Copies of this chain bind each other. A is one copy, B any other.
Amino acid sequence: MRLDIVSIDPRSHTPVYVQLAELLRRRVESGDLQPGSLLPSESHLSQEYGIGRDAVRAAIALLRSEGVMTTTKGRGTWVREAPRRTDIELAPGGSTVARMPSSRERREMDLDEGVPVLEIHGPDGDVQIRPADQTRVTRPQSD
């Protein structure tokens, strides 16, 4: 049973698209919208909430940038299913940093929006770049 906010107030000081994003995020977090499930179309959401299509698109873009949703042109928007993470052992003397990929890297590695990359540096200056949503960097209990 849900008592969440189900309508949007255009007179609020909070932008309409932020309200919609929060509403949708809450539905994901509560399990009401399961990973893999399809969202209503932009036009549908636009009409359902009585807001402009730009606002719907902005809300979805925000959630995409957080890695919560993923959109396919001509098909629709889904709640993103995060892939399983593979453990990578950080070498002695190694290090790792995270950052957002450039557009080119995102294209070449076929990354969803809102997915960072991990730069894993070995002790000899070698660098490995991996999708952050598929990676967990570990250090073993004892060497």
Residues of A at the B interface (CB closer than 8 Å) are 18, 21-22, 25, 62, 65-67, 85, 87, 90-103, 113-116, 118, 123, 132-133, 135-143
Contacts and interface: CB of A to CB of B under 8 A. Distances in A.
A142 B139 contact: no
A70 to B, nearest CB: 13
A103 B137 contact: no
B137 A137 contact: yes
B66 A101 contact: yes
A56 to B, nearest CB: 16
A97 to B, nearest CB: 5
Contact of A65 (B92, B100, B133, B142): B100
A43 to B, nearest CB: 19
B97 A137 contact: yes
B65 A95 contact: no
Contact of A93 (B22, B90, B113, B141): B141
Contacts of A85: 97
B140 A93 contact: yes
B102 A66 contact: yes
A87 B97 contact: no
